[in-house]
Amino acid sequence: MAASPASAETSLSAHHRKKQPEQVRRALLDCAAQIAAEQGAQAITIQAVAERAGVTKGGLLHHFDSKQALLAAVFSDLLAQMDREIDRTMAGDPVAHGRFTRAYVQVCFSDRLLGERSLWAALSVAIVSEPALRALWSGWLDGRMVRHAETDGDPALVAVRLAADGVWLADMMEKAGGLKRYPQHFEAVLLQMASAQT
């Protein structure tokens, strides 16, 4: 959410590949994210990512031993970006009750207008079909709920987060139809619900 893949030139010279493995790994993740955002997660292949990053297939497989491992790494990277964005949003919210829920809603709505160019939209189908990605998502959410149980465990706040998830699902299933059915200003409705004290 609000996570856009890098657009700068990411291919690397052989000299830099040997001396900077983390830079190579970062370039591979960025190239995979670019492909997903442009063509959908199904277009992420070992060959396509290696070519875009300017490395050999063997070089890519040194970092990610399969397409599934690469996809999981792209998704983990996206979750880390989401985590940072949620923390940044929470830092600006002075009210403890529902703080995580409000940040979650804001992040869920942050890139809806990008439509199919959103990396989240591109990975949505993969999240549904790939058990490993669902496990990553569940683990992330479970960890957040443990951290915010005291301020965001209220059933009404759970319902708000589920509503935000429902909007995301509608967007995924219906593309432009989801945006028409649940306009962007629906975010304000959910934020108001998340701000109500019980």
pLDDT band, very low/low/confident/very high, at 171 (cuts 50, 70, 90): confident
pLDDT of residue 123: 74
Q: Across all residues in the chain, what is the average pLDDT?
A: 84
Q: Are residues 94 and 180 in the same domain?
A: yes
User: Hunting for tokens 């856009």 — which residue is that?
Assistant: 4
Q: Are residues 24 and 92 in the same domain?
A: no
Query: What percentage of the chain exceeds 90 in pLDDT?
Result: 45
Domain with 20, as residue range(s), is: 14-68
User: What total number of domains does the chain contain?
Assistant: 2
Rounded to a whole number, what is the distance in angstroms from the first to the last CA of the chain?
29
Q: Is residue 9 part of a domain?
A: no
CATH (domain of 59): 1.10.10.60
Q: Say if CB 12 and CB 39 are below 8 A apart.
A: no
Q: Where are the alpha helices (DSSP H) in the chain?
A: 14-19, 21-39, 46-53, 57-63, 67-91, 99-109, 119-129, 131-147, 149-152, 155-174, 176-181, 186-195
Q: Are residues 168 and 90 in the same domain?
A: yes
pLDDT of residue 5: 45
pLDDT band, very low/low/confident/very high, at 176 (cuts 50, 70, 90): low
pLDDT digits (tens, 9 = 90+) for 107-144: 988 877 666 566 776 677 677 778 888 899 999 999 99
pLDDT of residue 20: 80
Q: Is residue 101 part of a domain?
A: yes
* Mean pLDDT score, 170-178: 73
Q: Are residues 92 and 183 in the same domain?
A: yes
- Rounded to whole angstroms, how far apart are CA atoms 183 and 38? 24
- Rounded to whole angstroms, how far apart are CA atoms 147 and 150? 8
Q: Are residues 83 and 176 in the same domain?
A: yes
